[in-house]
Amino acid sequence: GAGVSQSPSNKVTEKGKDVELRCDPISGHTALYWYRQSLGQGLEFLIYFQGNSAPDKSGLPSDRFSAERTGGSVSTLTIQRTQQEDSAVYLCASSLASGLVLDEQFFGPGTRLTVL
């Protein structure tokens, strides 16, 4: 079956521009997660959705970052007024979880964001 997909795979943008990153989770997975992987910070949690609601936004680094999920499926991570320190690989994961931490998260290939 299809895994988690993300688009675009690569994004180069200029400082100050807004970007949107998309994640398509595995069909039937109710939980969706965004992480960021950068050289200096390793793998960091950003936000988690259960269905369309986000009970945990604690990892969003600033108010320039926002995310939404509609129809319990596709999610979009938006970064406004991008800065060079936003350059990283943004990873999306999904799990079957009905609120259970037990379920493993399946990761997508990531979007590599470069802010010039």
Which residues contact another protein (rule: CB under 8 A)? 31, 33, 35, 42-45, 48, 50, 55-56, 58-59, 89, 91, 93, 95, 97, 99, 101-102, 104-110
**Helix (H), strand (E) at residue 53:** strand 53-56
CB of 45 to another protein, least distance (A): 4
CB of 16 to another protein, least distance (A): 27
CB of 10 to another protein, least distance (A): 11
| Residue 79 burial by Cβ neighbours in a 10 Å radius (0-12, 13-18, 19+) | buried
CA distance 19 to 65: 10
Tally of CA atoms within 13 A in the half-sphere of 22 that contains its CB:
8
Contact by Cβ (8 Å): 78, 20: yes
In the complex with another protein, the residue whose CB is nearer, 41 or 83, is: 41
In the complex with another protein, the residue whose CB is nearer, 19 or 34, is: 34
CB of 106 to another protein, least distance (A): 7
